[in-house]
Structure 1
Amino acid sequence: MPSERRDFTVDLPRKRLAAGLLITDPDERVLLVEPAYEAQWEIPGGCVEADESPYQAAIREGREELGLDLSVGRLLVVDWVPARDGRTEGVMVIYDGGALDATAAERIVVPPGELKGWAWSDPPQTGQRLPPLLARRITQALHARADGCAYYLEDGVLVT
């Protein structure tokens, strides 16, 4: 008679996991989206759902938030974020969403009720629109893309 073993992993700690996309235009401006539910801008992306890989989440979020079927590229950053008031600790990943030309950008359709809109942002605008943690993460993602490697961050600060 086979014994039933309990899956010990069900009691292990859980972390939030989210995936985002670094998308730029030919001038290296970053594509940001403006959520309807909060005052801060973000990059396209969101929570990884149950039984979904971070990579698949990035593809899904590109489709849901921009109405585009993007060819998502390589991993750029993994960022562990400590807990803070109102949020548990989490792991955030950013994939290379590529560069969109003007023709592709014209096809962007944001979901009403979820997003107010989107905009290209140069570095000063990105720093003004994003919370400091996300601005640091995006800066490192741009460096990782240029360097051809992936970076590990903690709270948006490069560790390795």
Structure 2
Amino acid sequence: MTSPPGDYTATLPRKRMGSAVLLRDDLSRVLLVEPVYKGYWELPGGVVEESESPYLAAVRETKEELGLSIVPGRLLVVDWVPPCTGRTEGVMFVYDGGVLGVTRTVEIHLPADELRGWAWSTPDEARQRLSPLLARRAAAALKAATGGFTRYLENGNPVV
């Protein structure tokens, strides 16, 4: 999508955005996926495409990565991530995917070219499988889901 001539907003800085869902089971474990192209696991999700809302990106990514059509609930986490070597700054969103029962779990189908596997993970297992940044974000999202609030983070750390 291009901006009309003279659109001042087209000259403003742009930020990378990503969206994910926090899916839980009845034991409060979180669902993590293992990408084939990274050395650590992630929450299901991905990049927000041009002219796509973060919410719709979470819906699309859940369908693409897990084969599940879901209607995410409320926003759990917004995480601003500073730039570092090999990565631009970004804004990441995590939505509540709710509790996934056994009947829905058997519907999970992974794209073999993108994901190696998936697993339910306790908080300790999640800390081992995720990068430190993603572990902080996932823990904050789980607390927000069970606590009924939304949390703002910077680099995975609560600000307020």
Q: TM-score range by the shorter chain?
A: over 0.9
1:22 aligns to 2:59 (yes or no): no
**In 2, Cα distance between equivalents of 1:147 and 1:14:** 32
1:38 Cα offset (Å):
1.2
User: Secondary structure of the residue that 2:42 maps to in structure 1?
Assistant: coil
User: Secondary structure of the residue that 1:112 maps to in structure 2?
Assistant: coil
Q: What CA deviation, in whole Å up to 9, does each residue of 1:43-66 have, x standing for no partner?
A: 100000011000000000010000
1:5 Cα offset (Å):
5.8
Alignment of 1:3-14 (within 5 A): 6-14=6-14
How many pairs were matched up? 157
**In 1, Cα distance between equivalents of 2:109 and 2:86:** 31
Q: Percent identity?
A: 56
**In 2, Cα distance between equivalents of 1:157 and 1:38:** 22
CA RMSD of aligned residues (A): 1.0
Larger radius of gyration: 1
Report the equivalent of 1:83.
83
How high is the TM-score relative to the length of structure 2? Answer: 0.95
Q: Which amino acid aligns with 1:24?
A: R
After the TM superposition, list the runs of 4 or more consecutive aligned residues in structure 1 that deviate by more than 6 angstroms. Answer: none
Alignment of 1:3-152 (within 5 A): 6-152=6-152
Q: What CA deviation, in whole Å up to 9, does each residue of 1:39-88 have, x standing for no partner?
A: 11001000000110000000000100000001211000000000000000
**In 2, Cα distance between equivalents of 1:86 and 1:65:** 24
Q: What CA deviation, in whole Å up to 9, does each residue of 1:1-44 have, x standing for no partner?
A: xxx86001111111110000000110011100000111110010
**In 2, Cα distance between equivalents of 1:70 and 1:28:** 18
In structure 1, list runs of 5 or more residues that go unmatched. Answer: none
